[in-house]
Amino acid sequence: MNYENLTSADLDFLISVVGKEYVSTRDADLDQHSKDESFHQAVRPSVVVWTQSAAEISAVLKYANDHHIPVTPWGAGTSLEGNPIPIFGGIVLDTSRMDKVIQLRADDFQIDVQPGLRYKEMNATLAKQGLFFPPDPGANASIGGMIANNAAGTRTLRYGTTKDNVLRLEVVLPSGEIIRTGTRAKKTSSGFDLVHLFIGSEGTLGIITEATLRLSPLPEKFSAAITSFSTTEAATQVVTNIIGSGIVPAALEFLDTATVRAISATGEFALGENPTLLMEFHSATDVALKEELNQVEIMCRDGGCLNFEAGLGRDERDRLWRARHRAYDILVRSRPGVAYLIVDVAVPISEYSRLVSAAQAALAEQGLQGYLVGHAGDGNLHPLVPYTPGDTASYTTAWAADEKIVEAAIAMGGTATGEHGVGIGKRRFMPLEHGASLNAMRAIKATFDPNGILNPGKIFESD
């Protein structure tokens, strides 16, 4: 694709749509929108535009489409694969002013929101009604960004990913047309599933301007358990056994030996030095919770666990999970000057321990001391690959490890990305993972965005 450079006439048009104070070419604003939280290289847009309605976005897109100007939507900039970096310059369309709750319908367990709303703020409000939106990417992402990336986190096992919790979308297409798709009903078989097509499309097909989310009752009863095993295989087998028993943990996390060793070294936690599982359970009743925990302990002991510590209630859950929540900070603090490329792959559960071995081998091959954490219940692994910011050679080494890990995951029937999206970092694996179906994806892209103006250079290697 060939894109045009922005002219002063273009800037005048943008000002006429959103107002002078919401169009910026200031260095600070361009810098702030040049980079997400990933290790990918910053690229500045020509201009940042803060829209406040679907109508404004429609006007901007129609103009950009007519003039072949790239438009990259921007939520909170918390993504981890360079998803919103405007690598072809042009317009960054920031949705942070569109951060309103449009309507909460508690009786239907639904909320209509604008895309710029941050999910942590939304959940704080919803908590007063005993409700929450379960997908939890960790960083305080915007709802629009979560939908664009199909974000997920530790609670996927019980509550699903973003994909499983969105019912309806309003989307502006590159033509400027505003469409609404999906239904407020909990299920539908009415026509093609455009909602799921837009979820995870990373702003390459349209810009989300409103979403109806599916909410869950906030759990009132919590329990948690932490247990370790002499091998990853033994830990993984217990994961399979727990899921096979019909018990549905809210979360089931894995930490490898290197990670628990680093955490234990702080002296704040005594986790031992073995592959460790951390679990959380939600239930409507205390009795059910106790009985579940009981069964889980039996399965862990039958599976040869070296230790098993459990607790009932929110405080106990928080205490046992503190190590997991602090893990990333501890790993960063423990090695000053080192940053981590957070790899994101997922495989069928039966392949999880093989994936762990492959990741450890890939790190060792590059002479790197990395760490492995992951959502074991989903088969999702996040190897943390160290690199030194500013040192080009260390990027190359980290990328080499990343490549080996991703190729191993795909070879095991898995995916190049479980929850962070393709962005820039995973584009090169798309032919390997998708084969001929990548052509079908490209055909859809060409149908929705024939001029390739929306978030160009993402998902597909060359536009």
Restricting to residues 422-451, name those near its own copies by CB under 8 A.
422, 426, 430, 433-441, 443-448
Q: Where are the alpha helices (DSSP H) in 279-435?
A: 286-302, 314-334, 352-365, 392-411, 430-434
Q: Which of residues 352-381 bind its own copies (CB under 8 A)?
A: 378-380
Instruction: Give least dist CB 287 to its own copies, A.
Output: 4
Q: Give the whole-angstrom CA distance, residue 362 versus residue 407.
A: 11
Binding mask 246-265 for its own copies (x = CB under 8 A): xx------------------
**CB atoms inside a 10 Å sphere around CB 371:** 26
> Does 8 help bind its own copies (rule: CB under 8 A)?
no
120-126: long-range contacts at Cβ-Cβ below 8 A with a sequence spacing of 24 or more? 125/101, 126/215, 126/218
Q: With the C-alpha atoms ordered 187, 246, 220, 380, is the resulting torsion angle positive or negative?
A: negative
Work out the angle between the directed axes of helices 8-18 and 54-67 (0-180°, nearest 10). Answer: 160
- Between 68 and 290, name the residue whose CB sits nearer to its own copies: 290
- Sole window of 63-71, 100-108, 270-278, 356-364 interacting with its own copies (rule: CB under 8 A): 100-108
- Sole window of 19-27, 225-233, 318-326, 417-425 interacting with its own copies (rule: CB under 8 A): 417-425
- Between 47 and 347, name the residue whose CB sits nearer to its own copies: 347
Name which position in 240, 264, 307, 388 contacts its own copies (CB under 8 A).
240
- Between 62 and 261, name the residue whose CB sits nearer to its own copies: 62
Residues with Cβ within 8 Å of 395's Cβ and at least 6 positions away in sequence, in order, are 39, 387
- Between 95 and 201, name the residue whose CB sits nearer to its own copies: 201
- Between 26 and 301, name the residue whose CB sits nearer to its own copies: 301
- Measuring CA to CA, which residue among 246, 347, 223 is closest to residue 293? 223
Q: Give the whole-angstrom CA distance, residue 311 versus residue 205.
A: 46
- Measuring CA to CA, which residue among 119, 176, 179, 126 is closest to residue 144? 119
Structure tokens of 273? 């030095």
- Between 23 and 143, name the residue whose CB sits nearer to its own copies: 143
Name which position in 184, 301, 325, 335 contacts its own copies (CB under 8 A).
184
> Does 189 help bind its own copies (rule: CB under 8 A)?
yes
- Measuring CA to CA, which residue among 235, 283, 240 is closest to residue 260? 235
- Sole window of 194-202, 255-263, 311-319, 325-333 interacting with its own copies (rule: CB under 8 A): 194-202
- Measuring CA to CA, which residue among 117, 143, 211, 146 is closest to residue 172? 211
> Does 402 help bind its own copies (rule: CB under 8 A)?
no
> Does 398 help bind its own copies (rule: CB under 8 A)?
no
The per-residue DSSP string of 412-430 comes to TT-BS-SSS--TTTTGGGH
Name which position in 4, 177, 315, 391 contacts its own copies (CB under 8 A).
177
Instruction: Give least dist CB 407 to its own copies, A.
Output: 14
Q: Give the whole-angstrom CA distance, residue 138 versus residue 140.
A: 6
Name which position in 192, 267, 329, 390 contacts its own copies (CB under 8 A).
192
Structure tokens of 298? 């039996």
Instruction: Give least dist CB 196 to its own copies, A.
Output: 4
Beta bridge partners of 74: 94
- Measuring CA to CA, which residue among 258, 252, 253, 268 is closest to residue 384? 258
- Between 3 and 448, name the residue whose CB sits nearer to its own copies: 448
Instruction: Give least dist CB 462 to its own copies, A.
Output: 15
Degrees, nearest 5: CA angle 240-305-249:
40
> Does 462 help bind its own copies (rule: CB under 8 A)?
no
Name which position in 210, 256, 292, 463 contacts its own copies (CB under 8 A).
292
Instruction: Give least dist CB 183 to its own copies, A.
Output: 4
Name which position in 127, 284, 298, 364 contacts its own copies (CB under 8 A).
284
- Between 285 and 396, name the residue whose CB sits nearer to its own copies: 285
Q: How far is CA 439 from the centre of its chain?
A: 25
> Does 459 help bind its own copies (rule: CB under 8 A)?
yes
- Between 72 and 83, name the residue whose CB sits nearer to its own copies: 83
Q: Which of residues 129-158 bind its own copies (CB under 8 A)?
A: 130, 149-152, 156
Name which position in 228, 274, 415, 451 contacts its own copies (CB under 8 A).
415
Q: Is 276 helix (H, G, I), strand (E, B) or coil?
A: strand
- Measuring CA to CA, which residue among 374, 445, 463 is closest to residue 202? 445
Count the residues of the shown chain that bind its own copies, applying the rule CB under 8 A.
97
Name which position in 47, 49, 111, 205 contacts its own copies (CB under 8 A).
205
Q: Which of residues 377-396 bind its own copies (CB under 8 A)?
A: 378-380
